[in-house]
Structure 1
Amino acid sequence: MDEKRDRLRESGRELAVSWALCAVCLFGHLSHIFAFKAKWIHMFHSTGFHLSLSLFTLLGPGRQLILDGVKSLFKGAPNMNTLVGLGALSSFAVSSLAALIPGLGWKAFFEEPIMLIAFVLLGRNLEQRAKIKATSDMTGLLSILPSKARLLVHGDARDPGSIVEVPCASLSVGDQIVVLPGDRVPADGIVRAGRSTIDESSFTGEPLPVTKLPGSQVAAGSINLNGTLTVEVRRPGGETAVGDIVRLVEEAQSREAPVQRLADKVSGHFTYGVMALSAATFMFWNLFGTRVLPAAFHHGNPVSLALQLSCSVLVIACPCALGLATPTAVLVGTSLGATRGLLLRGGNVLEKFSMVKTIVFDKTGTLTIGRPVVTKVVTLGGVKITDIQQNLNLTWSEVEVLKLAAGVESNTIHPVGKAIVEAAQSAGCQNVKVKDGTFMEEPGFGAIAIIENKKVSVGTLDWVQRNGAYKNPCQEVEDLKNQSVVYVGVDNTIAGLIYLEDQIREDARNVVESLSRQGINVYMLSGDKKNTAEYVASIVGIPKEKVTARVKPDEKKKFITELQKDQNIVAMVGDGINDAAALASSHIGVAMGGGVGAAGEVSSIVLTGNRLSQLLDALELSRLTMKTVKQNLWWAFCVQHYWNSNSSWRVASCNWDHADAINRWSSHGFKLYWRDDKFIASEIEILPKQKQAYGTSPSQDYFRV
């Protein structure tokens, strides 16, 4: 990454120098055209001064372009740089002969190499900026790992003197480390003592923490929520699950072949055509020039006229329009994407996404919101059981159950507890406080506390029963599907049930249906249970046969690789560290804006608005951008053909250098500035299409562009 940034800085310096030389050259022409009288100004239009500027351009900013073009020509694979090199070198050579041998009567045009190099370097710099954005730097992902670990020296975790802090890199297999509540696990290992709940959402993508008991595996970087664990290290320092994901990402990025831009594909054939036309022009005017034109036009030297006209063909054919057609259109496209909350990294992203045939969705955090929310509260007609078998009916309202449960859960950091507290705040429940010293939490089961002189237990059915509440046999728990249930016990009564689920995004079904209508295959991957994954898929409209559950990060990557066979363009949409390898392996990685940073680092597109419907915006924008690029290339070829024909048959005028300079500047300007307006005009066409596709009014952002 540092090397690429260094090359970008070097490219920026070359671009600045090139355009500075171009400005000086233009000033010299303007001073001559408008006949400025100051003596020192005439120096800027002198032949010697222009020769110096041109030579400095070829040996400085344009050296790498010319060398690459010449090498490609000798290898039999000419590219855009070949045309630039031929045009620049031929114009410099002919102009040098004209300057060194005035008796030939030729005209010098040293400004041409300067202008060519300036325009081409502009397009190249824009392309490099886009590419460096497309390449991720995964070093930030490793920052989630703690730098130090608490090493257990004497085997007694209860003795503070037996614990020393050591660098994580120095840990060896078999070492025992202590992980306190709130700490990140410093190394991959197995729990040997203790009980706690671990937040593994960064790796598995699942929103609910996992209970860890002796014998359970833990991964470095996961968060220990509420218990103390003694963990035996199973992998040496530096070798972690996070490191594995980073290596998978780097491997995927190194294998990914950059898609060749359309301009490069056609410029190879175009190069041979221009060279043939230039040779034909020279032969025609050299053999028949004296017969076609009076001697006054070629000064009795047909070779001079033939060289000038054949050189003009090469000069004007230099693909400034081809070099800028894609970068300028992509620049406008990425800017428009930013107004829609789309972060687009790299120009080839738009090209590849416009041709996508398969899109794979992660479940948690992508098709769902990625965190538990309370969906409903069910109250029970509680039955209090006493020793004298006296029955007293105690009924609790939904608000009271939610209020008491939130009072207990406000003392935890468990995601389920946070969801219950948020639901109570949304319902306007009054805040209640726990009696000091009465709160107790057991990882994996629940919590209990005294609130308003009532013993309130919140957690699993086994937990509330162990704390004195009895199940009402008349109440049946619903089919959970994608839901979790929390029991609330008050004193000796089961007061109610709270249902939670990872809610499906409102726009998920519309997005899947829209993609299916466009002929795009849609798949879903999930690390969750099979029945949960299939339930979510049925809601959003993905067939069961296209759903794969309980997949690990490396398995997701393999699945993407299988889909990419037979030149199938595959996009992956995800949000977590566990999706990073698959996102990097896919042709187009799309990250949700609300996800973990690692997903955004490796993805080509980031939906910064965290709305799944933005995926359709990105798809439509990419197609419009590529349509505009093709239109630009078509017009560029038409303009090239016009100027080439004009150069082949044009004869020397009495004011050749003025007309020639103006013609070349006007041709470059027309080919450059026509595109942006055309692109914006095309972009406005998206508005009625979006309204028809989504059934909503388009954003006003497009009108501000």
Structure 2
Amino acid sequence: MSRRKIRSSNKSVFLTVEGMKCGGCVLSVEKTLLAQDNVEYASVNLIERTAFIELKNHTEDIEEIIKALTNKGFPAQEKKQSGSEYENEIDQAKNPWKQWNKLLIPLSLLVLSIIGHLAEGGEINIPVLGTLPFHASLATFALFGPGLTILKNGFKSAINFTPTMDTLVGIGVVSAYLTSLSSLIWPSVGWPCFFNEPVMLLGFVLIGRFLEERARFRTGQALKELAQLQPNKARLLNNENQIKEIRVGALQVGEKIEVLAGDRIPIDGIVLEGRSSIDISSLTGEPLPLTATSGQEISAGTLNLDGTLIVQVNRIGAETALARIIRLVEQAQARKAPIQSLADQVAGKFCYGVVALSIFTFIFWWQIGSNLWPEVLNSSGQGLINSHEHMLHSSFGSEAQTPLGLAIQLSIAVLVIACPCALGLATPTVISVASGKAAQKGWLFKGGDVLEKAASIDQIIFDKTGTLTVGRPVVTETLLTTDKDKLIQIAASIENNSRHPIAYAILQKAEEFNLPLLKAFNTKSIPGKGIFGELEGIKGIVRVGTIEWARNEGVSWNKKTDLYLESITKIGKSVVSISIDKELTGILIIDDQIRNDAKFAINLLRKQGQILRIMSGDRREAVLRIGNELGFESQLLNWQQLPEDKLKYLENLKNYGNIAMVGDGINDAPALASSDLGIAIGTGTEIAQDSADLVLLGDSLEGVPQAFSLAKRAMNKIKQNLFLAFGYNIIALPIAAGILLPRFGILLSPPIAAFLMALSSITVVINALYLKTS
């Protein structure tokens, strides 16, 4: 098994990490975490600004880990285990322009810079704005005002040998500023003066980051909406039956609360009084409401539709089903898909390569390029920039007068057009959107690696009982009786105290028909045969059990009935005889029914191209019948499989591609853990869910093909994003370095470079967001 499972024995910790801007930051944070003695595993999410770590020794605190990150320029703190940390972000979503200053300041810089150019060229009559002192002052304000954070972070990353996007931008704007300042103070040096460039650079970078933040917020919005499902207040019912509204966090296990119609349920609990319909679609994706009566378990975040309930508190806060779902989704977003490793490794080394390319570009155009192609000094203003004729304050890159001026322009363009951000965002944006969308539908992928694996599954193996079938026997037919209700009433009255599954099926049928049970006397069970006793109002001994037992007790029926019952037994159905003394009263046919949506789900999976199999511990006849009804060929069916047999069968199939196992029971847990992708039905046992990689919270098999479809679409988006990110840098960096300048006179000025850099990051985020609508 190469797939890594999260070990529950280790303490898992989530950290919020500030200061991350690109894939290089992600690699730096991960390296810092893994360098700590107590950290066994670390995975960082650039989108959510979180780090998921596993500790070797859970008794040690994490202060040293947090301190190490902070010292590297990434302030961190432990993430709370509730939805409260999302409240500020939800408020921002309701008012997207609440942090308007983040947009207003860079827009003002750009507007002032443009007005200054127009005033300098005589287009508008504001002479003071066209002077060099104004442009120098504006550039100084831009660097040491809104740009100061970028400069500080970039410098700190550089001295720690962990260069980031801030490092590249910082080097670019400081180089342009110092060059211009030197030219202003010492005109004799003959260097170009372009104070507008730091202003334009910072303006575009800050606007790009603002828009990127807005777009990135939307990628994780599904998880934030889940967190908001839990209300902050609850109506506590005290011992005097008085209602007091208190914070949900102040509730204690065992207390009682009142939930009114229209309110969301704030805790996991058990209904004590009342009857209502509960909308559970927000947690499981189930469209039909749950009917809640006394004894029914209900979960936090679900919606009480039409009745008042008195509920006993069972779990609160981080222990509720809703909180566990949020935690699982957070883990899924933190655990990387293998395809992301390449992007992270490239992004981690990317900044070093860009700095090297920038230095090479500077030296080449200063010492070599301008000598090989002297005409570039007269044509460097063409193409992707606009030119004008102001000598001292010429637009950066237009009409470069010296090799040094051109070299500075191109080397800075290389620095600011490079975009490790797009590489770092390409995969986690898609993982965040996909896992959030899946959680809203009740599908819990336990990691980005699970999403990637789900997209590459070749074969799917289904357990039968409880997975393809409802998992419990039901009465499907009554034979040899004219009074169906009376027959079921007699059988249910005798079986009332039995715990056998067949007894449950009969009692369930009696409840469905609203049949009152008769009082039973002297009942006795005979293992493997049935149960007998006496009933009030009925003369004689009543027997409910197998055909063979009834025959042995002297009950007989005609040969035609014998042949029919034998044919039913052969296809795996259970036959129950009901007799009074020696007289046969009737026959019940009991069977485990196929789920209503099983055929539809199976057909969807076949259309997707997977090979489907059934592997069950049930009898051959029952498996063959279910397989035949669902269109399986006999060679794709396996029966009477013990847990160890299932493991051997899986190992034999692994030579034929990646395998997914779908199950729900305790006996499925080893196979779920051993398969390439374990899928547990949410109505199954807890151990099955813990062993699985993908949990379907609802009671619907349709989620299986839909989850596979989402995984495939997500992987396509990841590949598209990586293509866009790599392609952008592969194309843009040579152009910025001047590869098209000698022949075509085309280059990228730094402001345009900064704009394209921001655009590349926003593009991959928006592409990921299309998953929400697909």
> Structure 2 length normalisation: TM-score?
0.55
Q: Which amino acid aligns with 2:503?
A: G
2:578·2:584 contact (CA, 8 Å) conserved in 1? yes
CA distance, structure 1, for counterparts of residue 542 and residue 533 of structure 2: 6
What's the counterpart of residue 338 of structure 2?
A: 259
CA deviations over 1:145-181 (Å, ceiling 9, x no partner): xxxxxxxxxxxxxxxxxxxxxxxxxxxxxxxxxxxxx
CA distance, structure 2, for counterparts of residue 590 and residue 262 of structure 1: 25
What's the counterpart of residue 406 of structure 1?
A: 492
Q: In structure 1, the residue corresponding to 2:14 is in which secondary structure?
A: helix
Does the C-alpha gap of structure 1 residues 114 and 440 become closer, same or farther in structure 2, counting only changes over 3 Å? farther
What's the counterpart of residue 211 of structure 1?
A: none
Q: In structure 2, the residue corresponding to 1:320 is in which secondary structure?
A: helix
What's the counterpart of residue 624 of structure 2?
A: 534
What's the counterpart of residue 286 of structure 2?
A: none
Q: Is residue 2:765 matched to residue 1:672?
A: yes
What's the counterpart of residue 243 of structure 1?
A: none
Q: Which amino acid aligns with 2:507?
A: V
CA deviations over 1:533-558 (Å, ceiling 9, x no partner): 33332332323333333333343234
What's the counterpart of residue 106 of structure 2?
A: 29
1:358, distance to aligned residue in structure 2 (A): 1.0
Does the C-alpha gap of structure 1 residues 583 and 311 become closer, same or farther in structure 2, counting only changes over 3 Å? farther
1:405, distance to aligned residue in structure 2 (A): 0.3
Q: Which amino acid aligns with 2:662?
A: V
What's the counterpart of residue 424 of structure 1?
A: 510
Q: Which amino acid aligns with 1:285?
A: W
Q: Is residue 2:141 matched to residue 1:57?
A: no
Q: Is residue 2:527 matched to residue 1:450?
A: no
Q: Is residue 2:416 matched to residue 1:315?
A: yes
What's the counterpart of residue 689 of structure 2?
A: 600
**Which of 92, 115, 124 is 2:170 aligned to?**
92
In the TM superposition, 1:271-286 aligns within 5 A as 278=358, 281-286=361-366
CA distance, structure 2, for counterparts of residue 44 and residue 560 of structure 1: 67
1:126·1:327 contact (CA, 8 Å) conserved in 2? no
Does the C-alpha gap of structure 1 residues 630 and 667 become closer, same or farther in structure 2, counting only changes over 3 Å? closer
CA deviations over 1:338-395 (Å, ceiling 9, x no partner): 555533333333332222211111111112221111121222xxxxxxxxxxxxxxx7
1:471, distance to aligned residue in structure 2 (A): 3.2
Does the C-alpha gap of structure 1 residues 606 and 258 become closer, same or farther in structure 2, counting only changes over 3 Å? same
1:489, distance to aligned residue in structure 2 (A): 1.9
1:638, distance to aligned residue in structure 2 (A): 5.0
What's the counterpart of residue 691 of structure 1?
A: none
Q: Is residue 2:446 matched to residue 1:345?
A: yes
Q: In structure 2, the residue corresponding to 1:668 is in which secondary structure?
A: helix
Structure 1 range deviating more: 448-457 or 642-651: 642-651
CA deviations over 1:81-118 (Å, ceiling 9, x no partner): xxxx3654344345556667842768656799999999
Q: Which amino acid aligns with 2:574?
A: S
Percent of residue pairs identical: 28
In the TM superposition, 1:663-702 aligns within 5 A as 664-677=757-770, 679=771, 683=774
In the TM superposition, 1:443-592 aligns within 5 A as 443-451=527-535, 452-454=537-539, 455-461=541-547, 464=550, 470-472=555-557, 474=559, 475-476=561-562, 477-479=565-567, 480=569, 481-516=571-606, 518-565=608-655, 568-592=657-681
CA deviations over 1:467-503 (Å, ceiling 9, x no partner): x652336441323122122221213323222221122
Does the C-alpha gap of structure 1 residues 656 and 639 become closer, same or farther in structure 2, counting only changes over 3 Å? closer
Does the C-alpha gap of structure 1 residues 326 and 592 become closer, same or farther in structure 2, counting only changes over 3 Å? same
Q: In structure 1, the residue corresponding to 2:508 is in which secondary structure?
A: helix
Q: In structure 1, the residue corresponding to 2:617 is in which secondary structure?
A: coil
Q: Which amino acid aligns with 1:552?
A: L
2:437·2:772 contact (CA, 8 Å) conserved in 1? no
CA distance, structure 2, for counterparts of residue 525 and residue 645 of structure 1: 57
Structure 2 residues not aligned, in runs of 5+: 1-7, 19-43, 52-73, 77-88, 93-98, 114-128, 130-136, 184-192, 227-331, 379-390
Q: In structure 1, the residue corresponding to 2:737 is in which secondary structure?
A: helix
Does the C-alpha gap of structure 1 residues 124 and 444 become closer, same or farther in structure 2, counting only changes over 3 Å? farther
1:336, distance to aligned residue in structure 2 (A): 4.1
CA distance, structure 2, for counterparts of residue 7 and residue 483 of structure 1: 55
1:25·1:111 contact (CA, 8 Å) conserved in 2? no
1:361·1:572 contact (CA, 8 Å) conserved in 2? yes
**Which of 363, 367, 377 is 1:293 aligned to?**
377
CA distance, structure 2, for counterparts of residue 315 and residue 51 of structure 1: 14
Q: In structure 1, the residue corresponding to 2:684 is in which secondary structure?
A: coil
1:54·1:111 contact (CA, 8 Å) conserved in 2? no
Q: Which amino acid aligns with 2:516?
A: N
Q: Is residue 2:705 matched to residue 1:616?
A: yes
1:570, distance to aligned residue in structure 2 (A): 1.4
Does the C-alpha gap of structure 1 residues 552 and 315 become closer, same or farther in structure 2, counting only changes over 3 Å? farther
Q: Which amino acid aligns with 2:365?
A: W
CA deviations over 1:5-31 (Å, ceiling 9, x no partner): 3346786677997999x9987665345
CA distance, structure 2, for counterparts of residue 558 and residue 123 of structure 1: 45
Q: Which amino acid aligns with 2:519?
A: V
1:374·1:501 contact (CA, 8 Å) conserved in 2? yes
Structure 1 range deviating more: 479-488 or 624-633: 624-633
CA deviations over 1:250-284 (Å, ceiling 9, x no partner): xxx9xx99633386299589959968865664354
CA distance, structure 1, for counterparts of residue 155 and residue 101 of structure 2: 17
CA deviations over 1:194-224 (Å, ceiling 9, x no partner): xxxxxxxxxxxxxxxxxxxxxxxxxxxxxxx
Q: Which amino acid aligns with 2:711?
A: S
In the TM superposition, 1:133-144 aligns within 5 A as none
Structure 1 residues not aligned, in runs of 5+: 71-84, 134-252, 380-394, 684-705
Does the C-alpha gap of structure 1 residues 574 and 680 become closer, same or farther in structure 2, counting only changes over 3 Å? same
CA distance, structure 1, for counterparts of residue 757 and residue 622 of structure 2: 65
1:87·1:311 contact (CA, 8 Å) conserved in 2? no
Structure 1 range deviating more: 510-519 or 269-278: 269-278
Does the C-alpha gap of structure 1 residues 368 and 8 become closer, same or farther in structure 2, counting only changes over 3 Å? farther
What's the counterpart of residue 80 of structure 2?
A: none
Q: CA-atom RMSD, angstroms?
A: 4.9
Does the C-alpha gap of structure 1 residues 662 and 93 become closer, same or farther in structure 2, counting only changes over 3 Å? closer
Q: In structure 2, the residue corresponding to 1:472 is in which secondary structure?
A: coil
Aligned length: 515
1:124·1:323 contact (CA, 8 Å) conserved in 2? no
2:365·2:406 contact (CA, 8 Å) conserved in 1? yes
Q: Is residue 2:7 matched to residue 1:6?
A: no
Q: Is residue 2:356 matched to residue 1:356?
A: no
1:599, distance to aligned residue in structure 2 (A): 2.2
1:263·1:326 contact (CA, 8 Å) conserved in 2? no
What's the counterpart of residue 441 of structure 1?
A: 525
> Structure 1 length normalisation: TM-score?
0.60
Q: Which amino acid aligns with 1:493?
A: E
